[in-house]
Amino acid sequence: MPVLEVVLGDLVAQRVDAIVTAANESLLGGGGVDRAVHAAAGPRLAEAGSALAPLDPGDAVATPAFRLDPPVRHVIHTVGPVWEGGGYDEAAVLASCYRRCLAVADTLGVRSLAVPAISTGVYGYPPAEAARIAVSTLRTTRTGVAVVRLVAFDQGNLELLRSELLAQEVS
């Protein structure tokens, strides 16, 4: 199981082997964190993504990192669920995003991975529930990834992730 870290910061500035972006099914770049990743990696990221699209919710694929600064070598794209009230297997799809990202990272030999809070932006997933699923799934999934850094985009998200990590460490 990987060591989990929680930080407040810019996902594209993390010094890791790979970063995860919360993508849409087209992999052409969307809003929020995906827009920032595409802006930093350059237009070749969208070209590479379009060759792999469409991507189903809960799945993940990788592309090169293009213009992202080393040591980042890969971008792992995953499509999270749109929150529809919790009755449409959103939790299972969200957990699958994290598991599939780790599986893809394993195939690439990734040892350090930075991950955003998937689906908590425009997709509307309740942040506290998303934090619980992220931490639980990342803590219990077998992987060769040594360090997973959960990158919070604001102070509220940071506190939710830290609290969840502490709660699950004691249980």
Ordered structural domains, the chain, with CATH: 3-170 (3.40.220.10)
Q: Please compute the mean of the pLDDT values over residues 75-103 and round it to a whole number.
A: 98
Is residue 34 annotated as part of the catalytic site, yes or no? yes
Q: What are phi and psi of 147, to 5 degrees?
A: -135, 130
Residue 63: its pLDDT value, please?
99
Residue 53: its pLDDT value, please?
98
Rounded Cα gap, residues 36 and 98, in angstroms: 20
Q: Is the peptide bond before 64 cis (omega within 30 degrees of 0)?
A: no
Identify the active-site residue in 34, 69, 106, 154. Answer: 34
What digits encode the pLDDT tens for the residues 92-119?
999 999 999 999 999 999 999 999 999 9
What digits encode the pLDDT tens for the residues 9-59?
999 999 999 999 999 999 999 999 999 999 999 999 999 999 999 999 999
The answer for residues whose C-beta is within 8 angstroms of residue 113's C-beta and 6 or more apart is 2, 16, 17, 18, 19, 20, 76, 101, 102, 105, 145, 147, 148, 149
Question: Taking all residues of the chain, what is their mean pLDDT, rounded to a whole number?
Answer: 97
